[in-house]
Structure 1
Amino acid sequence: MAEVQASALDLELLRSFQVAAQLGSLAAAAEQRHRTISAISMQIKRLEEVLGSRLLERGPRGVTLTATGEALLQESRELLRLHDGMLSRFTGRGLGGKVRLGLPEDYARELLVDVLPEFMAHHPDVLLEAVTATSGELARQLTRSQLTLAVVLDRPHPLPGGEALWQTSPVWAGPRVGRLTERASVPLALHEVDCPYRELAIEALEAAGTAWHAVFTSTSIHAVEKAVEAGLAISVIDRQRLTPAMREIGRDEGLPPLRTCEARLHFGRRIEEASRPAVEALATLLRERLRECGPWRAASRPV
């Protein structure tokens, strides 16, 4: 019986494809992989030839995945994760390098008590640094290559590329007692500029022609929540953050509907080769825990 000659997948081709898909740009992939754009393009072409299918569509604003490319991206992540894990176990070397993770401050508490401790327990040799900021500031840090991985809401400064994790659930929150919306100008407790929910609140009120003024501004979500609980103002927060001292308010009190945001996972443009497996491992854990449900269900998952 004649032996069937099977094509073999080159893991380096898969890595270049994965980076290009994640960043949405051959130029960004070339920078991260320390190769030329033509070399990355050739690697993608060779992979497409091996598989007999187009994986990426090239355009003036970068590259996008085809249906086949989307399927390959999901499976290649698992293949590379298994490969890197097996190599670490048999060589006695665990994951190392450094990961600088950016998180919106509103979700840091849930992620810090659930996802990140698990990652550090499994990968003690990885130097993990988590930083919190508004999504606008995180977007700027990503473009300046100051972060290797970040969870960013798609407002107020949407970034190209990225992977959808979950849809947020913003609501108008007011104190349990009192109707602050009956005033001539709605009093607001807001984050400073670059906060997605600040933009949602102001955008909705101004579109409805509703007068408003800021009575409390802070970089801390906890301070904003306290201002609402104390009856100083109303604000926009995630529904899951409502406390017993708050209540959800809306159209019945004259407030306009709010748009939603999408939380997306973004990779930095420059990731050191030695740190890439650790970055991918953390990205995999974030996908597993946060996709479609956000941090709330992750934080309530029994240990």
Structure 2
Amino acid sequence: MIEGGLRALDLEALRSFVTIVRMGSLAAAAQQRHRTVSALSMQIKRLETSLGTQLLVRSARGVTTTAAGETLLGEARELLRQHDGLVARITGRGLSGQVRFGIPEDYAPQIVGRLLPDFMAQHPDVILEAVTATSGELVRRLERGDLSLIVALDRPHPLAGGIPLWRTQPVWAGARDITLTREQSLPLALHPVNCPYRHLGLEALETAGRAWHAVFTSTSIHAVETAVASGLAVSILERERITPAMRTLGEPDGLPMLQGCEAQLHYGRHVPAQSWPAVEALGSLLIRQLGQSG
């Protein structure tokens, strides 16, 4: 017991709890933590007894968090981050390992330019590899075990268990002097099939019964923006990417409303144990900074 009658939480039990939630099952977490399933089960039982509430619900498909467990998850991640940072500063041994981080190209300038340099300055022994791709491709790479964590939109391939970061603001974009009629087939500049904005744009057009055809396709956001600004085609862009050479299009131009997406943080389930503290440290930084900025 500690002062005030509160019980001290077992940090290793908290690590096991966080790992179980991330991996989705006790068996997978046990392998990650180099423990037996029964040992992890006992840790969770003691943690639940100490807190006086159920944290996990087990089923044939794995485990899910209760409301109390979901609350504990965020607090536990932050507590472990602070603990590990304190130990590293006192002992002089910082984080190490490899972090493979995936982000959509649209948001790479802000994340790479603002957050990753700070992370590398704080953890110089970490090997960081950042890659850009569409959200659909990032989800596939994460599930294959190629990436440690990703920021991805929840379209077109939603992945369960993501941590919400911000809501996007997609808009129809055309050249400043573009003129459209409702009768004409809409000329589009598109990303590949795994792009969330392609998915929601075409879905909206088909629901509205608006004819369209692709005149330009590219994996590069800058190439798509050039096609829009030059008047070659219309596309779907994040509102903040509209330049003076473009204008936002909408219902007066015969275009349907667009729904937003949610940007989420996802952790991989195949991260080596020695790299996990560094992966979680980057994830915590992204949650703090991107969750606040929207």
Give the TM-score of the pair, scaled to structure 2.
0.93
Deviations 1:260-289 (A, max 9, x none): 111110111112222111111111110011
TM-superposed CA distance for 1:30, in Å, is: 3.6
Task: Tell me the CA shift for residue 61 of structure 1.
Answer: 4.4
Select between 191-200 and 61-70 the one with higher mean Cα deviation: 61-70
The runs of at least 4 consecutive aligned structure 1 residues that moved more than 6 Å come to none
Calculate the aligned-residue CA RMSD, in Å. Answer: 1.9
Measure the CA separation in 2 of the matches of 1:80 and 1:138.
27
Shift of 1:41: 3.5
Between the aligned partners of 1:73 and 1:134, the Cα distance in structure 2 is 28
Cα deviations by residue, 1:102-139 (Å, 9 ceiling, x for unpaired): 10111111111101111111111110000111111111
2:283 matched residue in structure 1: 283
Shift of 1:20: 2.5
In 2 relative to 1, CA 181–261 (structure 1 residues): closer, same or farther, beyond 3 Å? farther
Which residue in the other structure is 1:142 paired with? 142
Structure-2 separation of matches of 1:184 and 1:167: 32
Q: Identity over aligned residues, as a percent?
A: 64
Conservation of the 8 A alpha-carbon contact between 2:165 and 2:291: yes
Aligned to 1:231: 231
Counterpart of 2:132, as a letter, is T
Distance 1:183 1:275, change over 3 A: same
**Over residues 78-112 of structure 1, what are the superposed CA-to-partner deviations in whole Å (9 max), with x where a residue is unaligned?**
22112111211222111111100010111111111
Equivalent residues in 2 for 1:1-303, closer than 5 Å = 7-182=7-182, 184-291=184-291, 293-294=293-294
* Alignment check: 8 A CA contact 1:189 1:214 kept: yes
Aligned residue type for 1:253: D
Q: Distance in 2 between matches of 1:62 and 1:207?
A: 37
| Contact preservation (8 Å) 2:166, 2:263 | yes
Q: Distance in 1 between matches of 2:64 and 2:108?
A: 30
Secondary structure in 2 matching 1:130:
strand
1:5 Cα shift? Answer: 7.3
In structure 1, C-alpha distance between the alignment counterparts of 2:27 and 2:158, rounded to whole Å: 20
Verify the 8 A CA contact 1:175 1:229 in the aligned structure 2. yes
Letter matched to residue 102 of structure 1:
G
Question: Partner amino acid for 1:122?
Answer: Q
Say if 1:134 and 1:195, in contact at 8 Å, map to a contact too: yes
Aligned partner letter, 1:221: I
Q: Deviations over 1:202-261 (max 9, x none)?
A: 100011110000000000011000100000111011101111111111111111111111
Residue aligned with 1:72, SS: helix
Return the offset for 1:59.
Answer: 4.0
Matched residue SS, 2:213? strand
Cα distance in 2 between the residues matched to 1:209 and 1:131: 37
Contact kept in structure 2, 1:24 and 1:161, CA below 8 Å:
no
| 3-state SS of paired residue (2:274) | helix
| Contact 2:176/2:244, CA 8 A, preserved across alignment | yes
Q: Which runs of 5+ in 2 are unaligned?
A: none
Contact 2:180–2:253 (Cα < 8 Å) also in 1: no
Q: Secondary structure at the match of 1:274?
A: coil
Instruction: Tell me which moved more, 125-134 or 3-12.
Output: 3-12
Output the CA distance in 1 between the equivalents of 2:187 and 2:139: 29
Instruction: For residue 37 of structure 1, report the CA deviation from its aligned partner.
Output: 4.5
Q: For residues 102 and 7 of structure 1, do their structure 2 counterparts lie closer, same or farther at Cα, with a shift above 3 Å needed?
A: same
- The residue identity in structure 2 corresponding to 1:200 is L
What secondary structure is seen at the aligned counterpart in 2 of 1:95?
A: coil
Q: Judge conservation of contact 1:167–1:292 (CA < 8 Å) in 2.
A: no
Unaligned runs of 5+ in 1: 295-303
Alignment check: 8 A CA contact 2:22 2:269 kept: no
TM-score by length of 1: 0.90
The 1:164–1:179 alpha-carbon spacing in structure 2 relative to 1, beyond 3 Å, is same
**Letter paired with 1:199:** H
- How far apart in 1 are the matches of 2:169 and 2:59? 33
Q: 1:206 to 1:6 in 2, by over 3 A?
A: closer
Aligned length: 292
Rounded to whole Å, the distance in 2 between the matches of 1:67 and 1:245 is: 48
Give the secondary-structure state (helix, strand or coil) at the position aligned to 1:200. helix
